[in-house]
Chain A
Amino acid sequence: MPDPMKIRATVVGDSTEVRVLMSHEMETGQRKDAQGNVIPAWFIQNVVVAHKGRPVLNAQWGTAIAKNPFLSFKFKGGAKGDKIEITWVDNRGEKRTDETAIG
């Protein structure tokens, strides 16, 4: 199981700012190992962020997203204590879901 995400969600004015750090290799498939074999691509393809079950951001990612991806965005509404749930799926079909309460 991959390491948990670090999620921070805070109310700023009338919106909620969400910042996420995920733990993932994000291997591009361009690199070669010491023997000259291509290291296969391994990266997060889909990210879904939901606020109380309603999606507030859907992302599709390619290999160009940096290792241990960072994501930040804001959405309208959201109150202290509301649940934020984030799920990612990588190209190997591995997935991880983490949740936090808006602070």
Chain B
Amino acid sequence: MQNMRRKVLKAGGGVALYALLVAAGWLKAGDAAAQSWNKSAFEAKTLDEALKVFGGGSSAQSKDIVFVSTPDIAENGAVVPIGITSSIPKTEAIAILIEKNPNPLAAIFEIPPGTEPAIGTRVKMAQTSNVYALVKADGKYYVASKEIKVTLGGCGG
């Protein structure tokens, strides 16, 4: 343990991050080795499995979650822009799940109060698939989906 801490301290920027992670409640103080990364959810192989692990097993369809600047057809599956905006009050987290990817869960964004529940990023898609935006708001889960057609996959060898 002591050794781990040394390493983190040595890494310079690690100090600030460590403090941040502790502040964010991700880490218990002194537990520098354990990054908060939802391993089981990210490694789930099917959409249902990922949803279950993530805790969004029973989520309501919602029209208050909107995909913005997200294409209907992606020419290159290696870079697919995804934008998700939630107008559900007290949105705490937004997750992106891509049904037909080898591991459906792509990302989880935790939204602290004061941050707008609107995020944009770029993902890889193996093939044409439904993309799900899962929103956690006030302890409940909501979901919206959109099909994105991919003409060239992003996860091939």
Q: A residues bordering B, Cβ < 8 Å?
A: 15, 26, 28, 30-32, 45-46, 48, 50, 53, 55-67, 69-77, 85, 87, 89, 95-97
Q: Count residues of B near A (Cβ-Cβ below 8 Å).
A: 48
- In the assembled complex, which residues on chain A have CB atoms less than 8 Å from the CB atom of B83? 72
Chain A's closest residue to B119 (CB) is A73
Interface residues of chain B: helix, strand, loop or mixed (majority): mixed
CB-CB under 8 A from B152, the residues of chain A are none
Main secondary structure of the interface of A (DSSP, over half): strand
Count chain B CB atoms within 10 A of each CB in A56, A57, A73 and give the residue with the most: A73
If A28-B155, A31-B155, A97-B17 touch, whether A65 touches B106 (CB-CB below 8 Å) is: yes
B123 touches A65 (CB 8 A): yes
A48 and B17: CB pair below 8 A?
yes
Not counting A50-B20, A70-B120, a sample of 20 additional A-B residue pairs whose C-beta atoms are within 8 angstroms of each other reads A15-B116, A31-B155, A31-B157, A45-B37, A46-B21, A57-B112, A58-B109, A58-B110, A59-B108, A59-B110, A60-B42, A63-B42, A66-B80, A70-B81, A73-B118, A74-B116, A74-B118, A77-B114, A95-B14, A96-B13
